[in-house]
Structure 1
Amino acid sequence: MKKIGVFTDRWLSGGIESYLVSNFEKMDLDDILVSIITTRKLSQLYDSRLENIGIPIIELFSEGKDSEITRTVKSLKVFEEVLKAEKFDVLHLNIYNGVSLVYSKLARDCGVKKIIAHSHNSALGQVRLRAAKQLSHIVGKLAFQRFATDYWACSDLAGKWLFTKRAHSKVLLLNNGIDTDYFRFDSVKRTSFRQDYNLSENDFVLGNIGRLNNQKNQIFLLEVARELNQKNVSFTLLIAGDGELLSNLKDRIIDYRLSEKVKLIGTIGDTASFYSGIDIFLLPSLFEGNPIVGIEAQCSGAKCLLSDSITRQAKVNEMTEFLSIHRVSDWVNFIEENKASSQASRLKSYHTVKDNDFDIVDTSIHLKTNLLK
């Protein structure tokens, strides 16, 4: 029986959490003991699912606000105490930047034999003290990368971001798997979802899902919606998620007179119905590791338009395109040209995603194999 510690800085309701929970749900856990470690648990979205499979969350701090750097420094002593108490055989670090690689040194000092640094991001956003954080990222990976035994990434860009050139040839790429059966297009779910939001089958619906923050760049979508509205294009834009940009988005929707066109629908539980219910999925992120939401949307057969700053490995089917977020008009033109939607063609995407090894059953086996290797 091997003990595996799985770390992520803050436990939210985003892509890393979805990735971990979904994989562990499909994984044979009979011969391993998994514990999740996080500095702060800020979401209860996955609590019942984790409880059902017997995976606890160890929270290092329960309250407080701080930056990632100060939070990391504050957590080191507590993290070390957890490592000594738990005596993990494997530590799986799911991280965004070089600063968090310091945990790999702590793990080495505490006798952990297998220390995996798993990169889930590809850049640093337009954050406060950006230059200082960029420098700390570079220093962090130069100083602490060597203490990890394994280098993983969700895409080529994510690998290049977290690891120095010396390690690039050693990086293992792991697909962000999804439950393809769950996300398969479903006409019944489509009808039900549209009824819930007072939409008819003939309505043209755009969708975005993700944390409302600068990285996900939902502000850009309001620029697209404003231009579509000015051109008298009939559409509804649904933005799902929560986050620090919520108030800003609400204000701008009012300023742009888009209250009848753009709906902020909050965090949703049944994301499969969301994808089946929309026609085009929009993801204008400034950067991504390899967005799970993009794979989910493609599995549903929705046409997808992604920012060209996202890795091309996010494209699984031919209904996905990449465009620059510096030209709103290009996004508007794509949307106008792709208003026609065929439900029959949407069913084919499920097989494409499954055949390209993005099914959660396959990725969970791959993940476990490499955790124990």
Structure 2
Amino acid sequence: MGQKLHVLFVRGMLYYDGVSAVEYEWIKSLRNRVAYDYVLLDPDKSVPEKLQAVKDLGCQVYPLRYQGASSLASHRNREKVLRDFLNQHHYDVVHIDTDLLSRYDVAKVARQCGVKKVIIHSHNAMRSVHGIQKLPGVARLERHLIAKYATDLAACSKEAANWLFNPQDQGRVRIIHNGIDKDHYVFSDSRRQALRKQLGVGPDDLVLGNIGRLADQKNQLFLLDILAALLKKQPKAKLVLIGSGEKEKEIREKIASLKLTDQVILVLATDQIPDYLFAMDVFVMPSLYEGLPMTLLEAQTTGLPCVISQSISSEMDFPGMIHRQELTAPAEEWAETILEVKPVSDRQAEAAVLTEIGYDNRESAEQVYQMYIGG
């Protein structure tokens, strides 16, 4: 085996999100050919379990801290600390997984420091009404700077590519689907029953599930309204909500105000995602915007039917598994859609669909490696 490529991921933080999950799969799959490190620009928001997981795979994690009296001063200080870091460490590739237009500055600094391969990889598909509010001219300029400083453009979906890159640069974009390890998500009824018993869930309870950062994007506050509407017609409904984030306090307050304390199981962190998916009956994702959400891929692979917002791309739909609803529809209509969903007759069989539609982690990892070496 020759010398490994040295690749640096630049992220804000590591937490229970789809991007962290897919990076973890790349690190595992490519460990014989690639040595990965992390630079974190907002390290104090990271989840300790995620930090430890990548360290256990041999990654060095470098927290970079910066501040300033204004946003401009903070921006300049960020560039300085990143430049100092890159001048002290050699990397063959800087890989920037992001949904932020402002990340062009990381690519600029990397190129100025002599990094030959600088990748900006889009992992979300924000909508202008829900995403970051910027003047169109500013957004176009930042997209132009992304294309100027990045040697390679990549995206997890066409919609994610359209969000982060200007129309004239779409021809440069490499679409690399976010893959998962199929073997981890083959449905197990015994594990389903064990976890439902542990959670105090009865055999007749209808268990909804949602996994994601507790943030505006994921729209969990509206999900609580959906649950409240559903309970009027299905009193045995419960919601398993998995994630952490800045909306936790507000979500807890709304759970209390809607008197849903006995119906919501809030799990801030877990390494049992497959088991929780096995235990659920319907996965509900009313996100305001997404790229190709890993949790939706994982849910379908376990044979879990999904009720999701129209804003989510159809590129990863398993046949018959997805039921869409408009974000503008009231909670009562979402509840009706959930009640209309029929369980999948053979949940184990859905795992085979993952490979058929091109989302196996081994395939996506190989595409990433070919991008690193210029293939």
TM-score (norm: length of structure 2)? 0.91
1:270 to 2:272 alignment: yes
Residues 240-295 of structure 1: CA deviation (Å, up to 9, x unaligned): 11112122122222222222222222222210001000010011110011100000
1:195 equivalent in structure 2: 197
Aligned-partner Cα distance in 1 for 2:196–2:128? 34
Shift of 1:199: 0.8
SS in 2 for 1:46: helix
Compared CA separation, residues 135 and 193, structure 1 to 2 (3 A): farther
Residues 35-56 of structure 1: CA deviation (Å, up to 9, x unaligned): 1111132221223332332111
Compared CA separation, residues 127 and 161, structure 1 to 2 (3 A): closer
1:1-373 equivalence runs, <5 A: 1=3, 2-27=5-30, 29-41=31-43, 42-61=46-65, 72-123=75-126, 131-132=133-134, 136-327=138-329, 328-338=331-341, 340-342=342-344, 344-373=345-374
Compared CA separation, residues 125 and 207, structure 1 to 2 (3 A): farther
User: What is the root-mean-square deviation of aligned Cα atoms in Å?
Assistant: 2.4
Aligned-partner Cα distance in 2 for 1:172–1:368? 12
Shift of 1:359: 1.6
* 1:126/1:214 contact within 8 Å kept: no
Aligned-partner Cα distance in 2 for 1:69–1:291? 32
Residues 58-84 of structure 1: CA deviation (Å, up to 9, x unaligned): 2112x8799998754431111112222
Aligned-partner Cα distance in 2 for 1:127–1:371? 33
Compared CA separation, residues 124 and 84, structure 1 to 2 (3 A): farther
Compared CA separation, residues 84 and 65, structure 1 to 2 (3 A): closer
Which letter maps to 2:35? L
Compared CA separation, residues 160 and 68, structure 1 to 2 (3 A): farther
* 1:102/1:140 contact within 8 Å kept: no
Compared CA separation, residues 30 and 265, structure 1 to 2 (3 A): closer
* 2:214/2:248 contact within 8 Å kept: yes
Which letter maps to 2:79? L
Compared CA separation, residues 345 and 68, structure 1 to 2 (3 A): farther
Aligned-partner Cα distance in 2 for 1:70–1:190? 51
SS in 2 for 1:81: helix
After TM superposition, the structure 1 stretch with the greater mean CA deviation from structure 2, 91-100 or 34-43, is 34-43
* 1:282/1:306 contact within 8 Å kept: yes
Structure 1 residues not aligned, in runs of 5+: none
Aligned-partner Cα distance in 2 for 1:312–1:246? 29
SS in 1 for 2:195: helix
* 1:99/1:136 contact within 8 Å kept: no
Aligned-partner Cα distance in 2 for 1:65–1:212? 27
Which letter maps to 1:83? L
Shift of 1:146: 1.2
Compared CA separation, residues 357 and 193, structure 1 to 2 (3 A): same
Aligned-partner Cα distance in 2 for 1:183–1:65? 45
* 2:146/2:165 contact within 8 Å kept: no
Which letter maps to 2:164? L
SS in 1 for 2:262: coil
SS in 1 for 2:142: helix
* 1:98/1:139 contact within 8 Å kept: no
Residues 98-141 of structure 1: CA deviation (Å, up to 9, x unaligned): 2101211112211111111101121168889x545876544322
Compared CA separation, residues 209 and 114, structure 1 to 2 (3 A): same
* 1:219/1:249 contact within 8 Å kept: yes
Aligned-partner Cα distance in 2 for 1:319–1:65? 48
After TM superposition, the structure 1 stretch with the greater mean CA deviation from structure 2, 262-271 or 280-289, is 262-271
After TM superposition, the structure 1 stretch with the greater mean CA deviation from structure 2, 45-54 or 274-283, is 45-54
SS in 2 for 1:45: helix
After TM superposition, the structure 1 stretch with the greater mean CA deviation from structure 2, 52-61 or 135-144, is 135-144
Aligned-partner Cα distance in 2 for 1:133–1:68? 17
Aligned-partner Cα distance in 2 for 1:140–1:228? 43
Aligned-partner Cα distance in 2 for 1:241–1:92? 25
Aligned-partner Cα distance in 1 for 2:245–2:106? 27
* 1:90/1:115 contact within 8 Å kept: yes
* 2:9/2:95 contact within 8 Å kept: yes
Aligned-partner Cα distance in 2 for 1:173–1:6? 18
